[in-house]
Structure formats: C-alpha cells, structure tokens
Amino acid sequence: MSVSPQTVAVFGAGYVGLVTGACFADLGHRVVVRDVLADRVEVLRRGEVPIFEPGLDSLIARNTDRLSFTTDVGEAIEGADFVYIAVGTPPTYSGDADLSAVWTVIDELPQIERSTVVVMKSTVPVGTGSRVRHRLDERGLQHVGYVSNPEFTAEGTALRDFMHPDRIVIGSFRDEDGDAVEALHAGIEAPVVRCDVASGEMIKLAANAALMTRISFINEIANVCEATGADVVRVAEGIGLDRRIGPAFLRAGIGFGGSCFPKDSLALKQLAANSGYHFQLLNAVIEVNELQKRRVIGKLHSHLGSLRGATVALLGLAFKPNTDDMREAPSLVLAGRLVAEGADVRAWDPVVEGADLFGVEIASSPEAAAAGADAVVLVTEWPELADVDWKAVAATMRNALLIDGRNMLDPAALRAAGFTVEGIGRAASVSEG
Ligand code: UGA
C-alpha cells in the first residue's frame, strides 16, 4: 500500500510521543511534535534526544526534514490532518488517572476548520473518549473526529513494537475517522482491530492487566517452587511450551515496575471500583507484586541475619534493561528497605546516573559496587552482567553471597566461582558456595 503523506501533530514529547512522531515521520508523514517544556523542545531542535530508547536518535536524525518540534500550539496544529495526544496520565492520590494534561490539549485546540481527527495515544480510563467527544461538540467542533489508538510499545523495543506490532487497535465513533487512522498506518503490516472507542480504551487496559497477571502468577509459582524444591525456570519452560499458554511474560523475578504497569493497574482497579465492581484478581496481582519486591530482603536476612552495618550492592537500577526509566523501579523499594534496615547500599547501573536514592552510593562498575560487600543483588538483567568475571568479584567481597533477582546468571557457574547463590523460585539450585 503506498503512503499518502499526511500532516500529524503530536502533543507530548515523552517516550510515547517521540516514538509515535519519529515512526510516523519515517513512514513518510510530516510530523510536528509539540511539548510545553521549552528546554525539551530546544534539546530536540539541536538534534539531541532527551530519553534513552535504542535507535530513536538515529530515527529522528534520519527524518529531520519531515519532523519538527515546537512549544507553539498554533504551529503544531497548522494544517494538521491528525492531532495525536501522547501526554502523561499519572495516577492521582485516589489511583484514578490524572487527565489534566489531556484536557489542556483539548481546551487549547483552536477553532479548527478542517476535518482533523483527534487521536488518543495516552492510556486513559474507559469513557474518556465519550467525555472528549462531548467537550469537542460543546466547542462547536463536531466535524473534528475522535479515535482511540492505544500504544502497545514497550520501552527498549519501542521502535520495533511500533513498526512491527502484533496488532493495531482503532476505536472510533464514526467509521470514516477510523478509516483515516488506518490509512495513516499504511506501510505497517499487522492485523487491525476496529471497534468502538470504549472497547479500544479497554483493550489497552486489559492487555496490560493480562501481562501483569502472568507476571504475578509466575512469581507466586516461583514462591511455591522455593517452598517445595522445584525450579521455576524449568516450570516456566514446561508450561510455556503449551500453545494455549505461550512462553512470554513468564519470567519470575522481583516484580514488575515501570511507567505503565503500576499506573495502569491502579487506573483499572479504580475504574472498576468507580463503576461499583471490586476487581478481586487485579487487586491480588498488585499485592503479589508489592510483596515480591520485598522478598529479597527476607532472603538477605536468612543469609546475613541483621542487615545493620552490612554492605549490599544493587546491580541495575532501571526498572528493566535498555531504558533509563526509574519510574516505579523495584530498585527504589529495595534501596529504601535496605537503608531503613541500616544497611550500607552501593548501586551500579550502566545508564541511570546520580539517581536520588536516599543516599545510596553510586559505583562506576559492578566490580566497584561489589568490592568488600556482604551481598550482591542482581536487580536489573543488564546484558553487561553476563560478562562480569564473577570469580574475581567473589574474591573481593567480604561475604560472597549473590541474590539473582532475575534468574539471569547460571547458578552452577556462580557456585563454582565461589558464591552462595539464591535466585527467585529456584530452591533446587540454592546452595552454599
Ligand atoms: C509495557 C507493555 O509491555 C507494553 O505493551 C505497553 O505498551 C507498555 O507497558 C505501556 O503501557 O506503555 P514496559 O512497561 O515498557 O511495557 O515494559 P515491559 O517489558 O512490559 O516490562 C514491564 C515490567 O515487567 C518490567 O519491570 C519487567 O522487568 C517485568 N517483567 C516482564 C517481569 O518481571 N517478567 C516478565 O516475564 C516480563
């Protein structure tokens, strides 16, 4: 299908907005990304990328003739066929999504004469589209379309996820608006799910909830494995080969974090509660995840006794590899708990620098973090950690204990290197060095 170049305004120059803008530009469209933060826009205009997302800098550089950045609403909207909303929707104290940035975009739209389509990329509660539609109508913008087009990109693989998605979801009130958004994606090979706006909004929340449920499920299986002598890595392999189950998102660990899952689980829980429904399963998924982040502390206690005065090295701080995102990272809970227990905490991360972690000392390498420590906790499965000379590291530690919070490393090799090793859900491989 040949691309008919369109003009796209993207509101929000965060992860989602920048990926969306750069990918649409790469598909041949003219894109203007608008953000309220003048500094961020300046940085982007200089050709720098303010976030760490593999490949994004070169994608932006490759499309500079079709991609521009501004703080000015009028400039962004000028000639726009589509207005993508990609602003943050963080949780409020009640757990509801804070939609103030969304409403600001809607209220700032000028009296558009042309048949523009407003497209919601931000994750929003079900019912938001109807409210936006109402607000547009009140302002005499009945001719402006509205479409829910949720994103399913994961940080670290966002460009591939955008260009080669499992599906594209398009929820619209009017078929012609959905048709226009579908045509905008020409060049991307993927099944397209067309639906009403509320279902589009729910698909996004339900997809994340399903993924979180799998993680909390395998983490609970891991905890039972620990108590019964099974190995969750083998168990996950064994169940994942069942085609009805599948292998993805069955990695047991120290819990999920990031900018999406924790926020979206709260938003869905709250959405259900506001509608009079107690979403019992989702509540359990959230609670299991909270407890999972803290289980490492129990493991350290069982090996070291009191942690007061113990030195603990945290390897990896970002909520997952290939991102610098610290939002809701399990490392934050771990560091906070360890400091509260009186431990001295040193941390290393290849991307996150100078994070404000309650006085945690930041080391320049995994080796430097571990030297003289009583325990090492592998928090984020950065590929760099596979190349560490663990035998040399064990020799520099006061006590060679390694808790592998992601089951990344080979326990037998670590044992041979002199470590006492414990993973997550791997009772069979717990052994003294
Ligand atoms: C997630 C979804 O995967 C995307 O589809 C979605 O678009 C995005 O949220 C969003 O709503 O914007 P992301 O948060 O970037 O993407 O990262 P994931 O790779 O999904 O990982 C989330 C968390 O789950 C991480 O902390 C990761 O360590 C953890 N995880 C993942 C596990 O503990 N076990 C697994 O098997 C998989």
Smallest CA separation from ligand 1 atom 8, residue: 154
**How many A from CA of 154 to the centre of ligand 1?**
6
C-beta neighbour count of 248 within 10 angstroms: 9
Instruction: Return the ligand 1 atom nearest residue 151 CA.
Output: 7
pLDDT digits (tens, 9 = 90+) for 47-77: 999 988 999 999 999 999 999 999 999 999 9
pLDDT, residue 433, reads: 41
**Cα(293)–Cα(24) distance, integer angstroms:** 38
pLDDT at 355: 63
Q: Which pairing describes strands 145-148 and 168-172: parallel, antiparallel, or unpaired?
A: antiparallel
**162-205 pLDDT per residue, tens:** 999 999 999 999 999 999 999 999 999 999 999 999 999 999 99
Cα–ligand 1 centroid distance for 261 (angstroms) = 7
260 catalytic? Reply is yes
Residue 248 CA to ligand 1 center (angstroms) comes to 11
Tell me the mean pLDDT in the region 243-268: 95
Average pLDDT over residues 371-396: 98
Catalytic position from the list 23, 195, 225, 260: 260
Residue of minimum CA distance from atom 25 in ligand 1: 256
Q: Give the pLDDT band of residue 366 (cuts 50, 70, 90).
A: very high
Average pLDDT, the chain: 95
Candidates 174, 193, 192; CA nearest to 129 is: 174
Measure the CA–CA gap between 249 and 230, rounded to whole angstroms.
Answer: 19
Atom from ligand 1 closest to the CA of residue 254: 33
Query: How deeply is 297 buried, as exposed, middle or buried, from its count of CB atoms within 10 A (0-12, 13-18, 19+)?
Result: buried
**Letter for the amino acid at 37?**
L
Report helix, strand or coil for 154.
Answer: coil
Residue 38 in 3-state DSSP?
Answer: helix
Lookup result for tokens 């693989």 = 157
Closest atom, ligand 1, to C-alpha of 319: 26
Say if residue 245's pLDDT is above 60: yes
Q: What is the pLDDT of residues 125-164, one digit of tens each?
A: 999 999 999 999 999 999 999 999 999 999 999 999 999 9
Q: What are the pLDDT digits (tens) for 284-300? A: 999 999 999 999 999 99
**Per-residue CA distances from 217 to 245, 292, 358 (Å):** 12, 11, 31
What are the distances in angstroms from CA 76 to CA 80, 86, 108, 115, 284? 7, 14, 11, 16, 43
* Rounded alpha-carbon distances, angstroms, from residue 422 to 218, 317, 368: 17, 19, 21
Q: Where would I find the beta strands (DSSP E) of 234-317?
A: 311-315
Per-residue b or e along 173-189, where b marks 16 or more CB atoms closer than 10 Å to that residue's CB: eeeebbebbbebbeeee
Contacts of 269 (CB under 8 A, 6+ apart): 95, 279, 282, 283, 286
Task: Tell me, in angstroms, the distance from the centre of ligand 1 to residue 249's CA.
Answer: 8
Kindly list the protein residues whose Cβ atom lies closer than 6 A to any atom of ligand 1.
Answer: 123, 151-155, 208, 211, 215, 249-251, 253, 256-258, 260-261, 264, 319-320
CA of 156 to the centre of ligand 1 (A): 10
